[in-house]
Amino acid sequence: MTAPYVNTGRVTETVRPVAVVTGASSGIGAATARRLAADGYEVVCAARRRDRMVALAAEIGGRAVACDVTSAADVASLAVEVGERCDLLVNNAGGAYGADPVSAADLDQWRAMYEVNVIGVVAVTKALLPALVASQGQIVVIGSTAGQVAYEGGGGYVAAKFAVHSVVDTLRLELWDQPVRVCEIAPGMVRSEGFSLTRFEGDQAKADAVYAGVAAPLTSEDIADCVAWVATRPPHVNIDRMTVRPRAQAANHKVHRIFDKPAEGAPAQ
């Protein structure tokens, strides 16, 4: 699949369309960068881990930018590197920290989740919006089903993803007269590199328990496929929101698990 329906505005040079992917060093971000490059995009890979960025960019023929989306200086540098053209922005950087009940909330973790999941999305979008308008581009935000329905132990992550959901809807309303499409992709259970391990501070047993007994959770490549499909719709078609779960997950709290023996439950994703 190639990357059609781009470069219809003031940008007229014949080059590959430019996609920016935040949080591209692993998981959904890395899979998305690879998929978009395969579909014909020049991908700007942005994340904190520069060594991974350099390797990924070399692999896919893209550009590597070390960027912590919670750093104003890093986001400004990213905008300079991107330049005047941006056909697609994939706001993927984010994460969950902890699974404590609200009554025992670690407020530093809550602040960190709000900074990376919400402020980071707003900061990068704001910085790249002039290039997106000039390119008649598209913004895709990787949200979560946690931003649709609360669950016990979700606490700060649920709050942050509900905020992301609202930011996307507000942005779409505010850009109603601009040639920029806005979409949220809200995955359910994705077995991606590092997500649960980060949430449980490196506790591999707790991370594995999230997916225990689930025959086929979603993969990072599944979400990358969704991004590519959304990004290649005709320019008059806006996919407002896509919710995607594995077949085994009917809802955040209702997951089909098959065990040889009973196992402890784990927080939903």
Q: Is 32 exposed, middle or buried (0-12, 13-18, 19+ CB in 10 A)?
A: buried
CB-CB contact of 33 with 199 (8 Å): no
Give the distance from CA 127 to its chain's centroid: 17
From the candidates 41, 97, 157, 211, give the one annotated as an active-site residue: 157
157 catalytic? Reply is: yes
Phi first, then psi: give them for residue 61, nearest 5 degrees.
Answer: 70, 35
Q: Report how far apart, in Å, the C-alpha atoms of 192 and of each of 12, 182, 189, 212 are.
A: 37, 24, 9, 14
Q: Report how far apart, in Å, the C-alpha atoms of 83 and of each of 29, 41, 197 are.
A: 21, 15, 35
Catalytic residue numbers read 157
